[in-house]
Amino acid sequence: MSEKNKLRIGTGYDVHPLVKKRKLVIGGVEIPFGKGLDGWSDADVLTHAIIDALLGAAALGDIGGHFPPGEPQYKDISSLTLLKEVGDKLVAQGWRIVNIDATVIAEEPKLAGFIDRMRQSLSQTLGIEVERVSVKASTANGLGCIGKGKGMEALAVAMIEGKE
């Protein structure tokens, strides 16, 4: 009897408001900007969406269940630390990340010049090839809260593979 690979797909979404006096971290990369994302951890909207996509693919719940806001040990923690923990959980359960595709939606700052660094940061944290991580940036074309520059959101899809 041969082993077959099983594939699973998960989706992730996150949104955070922009506030003054906070650094902006997206995909583990600090971006110079006059505002940052508000949240219990570093509020890295992209990394949070990816964490939820990976957890969803493995049917392991969501980011809030694993790293509850309000818990002192997660205050201002780097989301890359959380991503590493999730990646390690998947590996321990026999999963391998096939690929991640994610989009950050923000009016400003322009993120194109930071995308490669984000991909490298995320792939290095997960211990996978950078070619397996896609990050894109888009705007809301002036529509809604995101379009008015009040926050940022991110969407992610992850595919994982395991043995049946």
Domain ranges of the chain: 5-163
What would the pLDDT profile of 94-141 be if each residue is shown by its tens digit? 999 999 999 999 999 999 999 999 999 999 999 999 999 999 999 999
- What confidence tier does 42 reach under pLDDT thresholds 50, 70, 90? very high
The rounded mean pLDDT for the chain is 95
Strands across the sheet containing 151-163: 35-37, 5-20, 151-163, 96-105, 133-138
**The model scores a pTM over 0.85:** yes
Other C-beta atoms closer than 10 Å to the C-beta of 32 total 8
Assign domain 5-163 to a CATH class.
alpha beta
Identify residue 27 by its one-letter amino acid code.
G
Residue 3 — pLDDT band, cuts 50, 70, 90? low
